[in-house]
């Protein structure tokens, strides 16, 4: 599809809402009493966040079906909507916690009444088994735990049935908040062990399809590629019971169809809608639109340094100057979010993150930079996008394609199904040029760099490797932000990112959701996945 055709068809409804043969209920009114129906655009590929290859849409199961030792508080935004509060850590399965006098350990007291969905008690043995699993399976979960200095099973100690201890390998500002992200979910180890094998001691095959948690919901049904049905866990003790007994999450790839469903009142919420739909639906009296800025997140273009031309920093800089940023922001983001281009200085003035990079559309500058390389006549490269995020990636890619063509770089757009994206872009890291949308869960610049700029880490899909960046991240990641040298080190990190541009920022996005006036309790979370725990609809 060329840009002209895309612009012409972008606002058209491609599929009628009635053409959904796999849906068990044709409308929200046909769903069981006390239900909420949600539509999402991406595919859930596993019920186990620890499993290798589990994609981001699947993280919602860890949120809704499992508890953690800690959680974050809630705050009210200026528009009256709810958001998590990173500044407040609150009890979840741990009713209290304290650091020992020598500062070397943290002791957690578990809720006496906490039980799993099967009614069995949550014990310190379950906590240890779960955290042991998170640090032992490797991949993304282990690296996420490492960010909080949670590295090895020996750190996790059972004191008694309801008392658990973490021994610290170092003081770190990230340890406690890292226990509140989705990864360190507490699993019913009794159930998991009963379904483990010699070849699969962590029961990854079983937990892939069968959650075993103590969270607000259980999974009543999962039809991969079609829908997932949550059923309220009435034994939940870590909060007030959700006001909705059943949540039906339907996967509807077409944004036009999701829009038609919410406009007709056939569903209660369309989660993660496009910027275009959010803007156009915001004036309707029968719908509520919530758009929340995503902290620590950037939509960006990633040149992969494994692709020979992009090994040259001047080529990457040339690409950065060739992009039509303002046009991209207008067409793909509909003006929603914060521009991340056009900084007037090549050095950061502060440690705020994200912040604009010192690039803007300047074809002459791009051509001059490219002329100083071995690729002065240009080259060909595939430009990959995630079909699950096509609402912003496709128009962005078309405009990037046009911009690069002006400096002799021929980009061919390659569309990858959402279910395959994580493996291709993040695990195998094999895409020469691609769009990405990483947002760091813990709201510090050094945490973002830990994930996105360190060789081998999941979200460094550019295969960027810089020893100085690694050293600076190692030095700042666990440092308190009021440390006298923290600011200078972080500004140096940002300065290197400005110069090396292994990631070319486009804009800081918002997360948009549209819901019926009958549904309340929507809350934004940093993980950008569905959290139904506070939903209420009618009398529930």
pLDDT digits (tens, 9 = 90+) for 479-520: 999 999 999 999 999 999 999 999 999 999 999 999 999 999
DSSP string, 141-157: HHHHHHHTT---GGGEE
Confidence of residue 165 (pLDDT cuts 50, 70, 90): very high
Tell me the pLDDT of the chain averaged across its residues: 93
pLDDT above 60 (res 182): yes
Is residue 386 within 8 Å of 425, Cβ to Cβ? yes
Cα–Cα distance for residue pair 175/478, rounded to 1 Å? 9
Distant-in-sequence contacts of 534-538, Cβ < 8 A, 24+ apart: 534/82, 534/242, 534/243, 535/36, 535/242, 535/243, 535/244, 535/247, 536/242, 536/243, 536/244, 537/34, 537/35, 537/36, 537/243, 537/244, 537/268, 538/34
pLDDT digits (tens, 9 = 90+) for 290-313: 999 999 999 999 999 999 999 999
Q: How many CA atoms lie within 13 A of 520 on its CB side?
A: 8
Q: Is the peptide bond before 397 cis (omega within 30 degrees of 0)?
A: no
Beta strands (DSSP E) in 131-232 are: 156-160, 163-167, 217-223, 227-232
What is the average per-residue pLDDT within 259-276?
Answer: 96
**CATH number of this structure's domain 299-508:** 3.10.105.10
Beta bridge partners of 493: none
Cα–Cα distance for residue pair 491/255, rounded to 1 Å? 39
What is the average per-residue pLDDT within 377-384?
Answer: 97
**Encoded tokens for 84:** 């998590």
Residue 201's pLDDT is what?
A: 98
For residues 375 and 19, which has the higher predicted lDDT (pLDDT)? Answer: 375
Question: What ranges do the domains of the chain cover?
Answer: 24-63+215-293+511-537, 68-193, 299-508
**Encoded tokens for 292:** 């929340």
Cα angle 86, 44, 62; round to 5: 40
DSSP 350: S
Domain 68-193: state its class.
alpha beta
pLDDT digits (tens, 9 = 90+) for 44-61: 999 999 999 899 999 999
Cα–Cα distance for residue pair 67/64, rounded to 1 Å? 8
Report which of 110, 125, 169 is spatially closest to residue 145, judged by C-alpha positions. 169
pLDDT above 90 (res 22): no
For the chain, how big is the Rg over CA atoms in Å? Answer: 23
Strand order in the sheet with 94-99: 94-99, 105-110, 163-167, 156-160
Greatest pairwise CA separation for the chain in angstroms: 70
Fold for the domain defined by 24-63+215-293+511-537: D-Maltodextrin-Binding Protein; domain 2 (3.40.190)
DSSP string, 53-94: T--GGGHHHHHHH---SEEEEEEE-TTS-EEEEEEEEEESSE
Model pTM? 0.85
Distant-in-sequence, close-in-space partners of 523: CB < 8 Å, separation ≥ 6: 74, 81, 82, 83, 84, 531, 534
pLDDT above 50 (res 97): yes
Residue 53's pLDDT is what?
A: 87
Cα–Cα distance for residue pair 31/221, rounded to 1 Å? 14
Phi, psi of 221 (to 5 degrees): -165, 140
Confidence of residue 32 (pLDDT cuts 50, 70, 90): low
Confidence of residue 30 (pLDDT cuts 50, 70, 90): very low
Residue 419's pLDDT is what?
A: 82
pLDDT digits (tens, 9 = 90+) for 318-338: 999 999 999 999 999 999 999
- Give percent of the chain with pLDDT exceeding 70: 93
pLDDT digits (tens, 9 = 90+) for 454-480: 999 999 999 999 999 999 999 999 999
Cα–Cα distance for residue pair 114/92, rounded to 1 Å? 10
pLDDT above 90 (res 26): no
Q: What's the gap between Cα 347 and its chain centre?
A: 28
pLDDT above 90 (res 28): no
Is residue 162 within 8 Å of 110, Cβ to Cβ? yes
């Amino acid at each position: 599809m060329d840009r002209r055709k895309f612009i012409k068809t972008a606002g058209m409804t491609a599929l009628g809402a009635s053409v959904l043969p796999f849906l068990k209920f044709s409308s929200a009114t046909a769903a069981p009493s006390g239900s909420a129906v949600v539509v999402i655009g991406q595919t859930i590929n596993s019920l186990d966040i620890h499993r290798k290859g589990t994609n981001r849409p699947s993280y919602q199961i860890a949120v809704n079906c499992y508890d953690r030792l800690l959680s974050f508080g809630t705050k009210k935004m200026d528009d009256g909507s709810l958001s998590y509060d990173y500044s407040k850590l609150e009890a979840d399965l741990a009713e209290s916690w304290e650091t020992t006098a020598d500062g070397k350990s943290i002791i957690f007291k578990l809720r006496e009444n906490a039980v799993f969905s099967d009614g069995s008690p949550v014990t310190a043995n379950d906590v240890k088994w779960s955290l042991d699993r998170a640090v032992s399976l490797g991949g993304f979960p282990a690296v996420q735990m490492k960010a909080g200095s949670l590295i090895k099973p020996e750190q996790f100690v059972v004191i008694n049935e309801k008392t658990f201890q973490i021994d610290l390998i170092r003081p770190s500002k990230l340890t406690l908040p890292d226990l509140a992200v989705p990864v360190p979910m507490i699993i019913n180890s009794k159930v998991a062990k009963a379904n483990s094998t010699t070849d699969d001691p962590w029961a990854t095959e079983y937990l892939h399809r069968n959650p075993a948690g103590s969270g607000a919901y259980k999974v009543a049904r999962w039809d991969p590629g079609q829908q997932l049905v949550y059923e309220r866990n009435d034994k939940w003790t870590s909060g007030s019971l959700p006001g909705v007994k059943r949540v039906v999450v339907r996967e509807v790839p077409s944004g036009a169809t999701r829009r038609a469903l919410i406009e007709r009142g056939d569903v209660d919420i369309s989660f993660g809608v496009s910027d275009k739909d959010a803007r156009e639906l915001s004036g309707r009296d029968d719908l509520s639109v919530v758009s929340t800025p995503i902290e620590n997140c950037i939509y960006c273009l990633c040149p992969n340094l494994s692709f020979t031309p992009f090994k040259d920093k001047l080529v990457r800089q040339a690409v950065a100057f060739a992009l039509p940023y303002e046009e991209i922001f207008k067409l793909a983001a509909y003006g929603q979010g914060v521009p991340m281009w056009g900084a007037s200085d090549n050095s950061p003035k502060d440690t705020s993150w994200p912040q604009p990079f010192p690039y803007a559309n300047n074809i002459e500058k791009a051509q001059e930079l490219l002329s100083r390389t071995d690729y002065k006549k240009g080259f060909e490269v595939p430009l990959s996008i995630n079909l699950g995020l096509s609402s912003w990636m496709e128009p962005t890619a078309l405009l990037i394609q046009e911009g690069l063509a002006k400096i002799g770089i021929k980009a061919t757009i390659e569309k990858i199904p959402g279910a395959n994206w994580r493996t291709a872009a993040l695990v195998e890291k094999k895409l020469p040029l691609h769009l990405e949308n990483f947002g760091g869960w813990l709201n510090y610049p050094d945490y973002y760099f830990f994930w996105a700029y360190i060789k081998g880490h999941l979200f460094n899909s550019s295969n960027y490797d810089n020893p100085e960046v690694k050293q600076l991240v190692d030095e700042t990641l666990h440092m308190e932000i009021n440390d006298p040298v923290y600011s200078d080190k972080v500004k140096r990190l940002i300065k290197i990112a400005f110069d090396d541009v292994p990631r070319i920022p486009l804009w800081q996005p918002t997360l948009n959701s549209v819901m019926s006036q009958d549904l309340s309790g929507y809350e934004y979370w940093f993980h950008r996945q569905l959290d139904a725990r506070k939903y209420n609809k009618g009398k529930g």
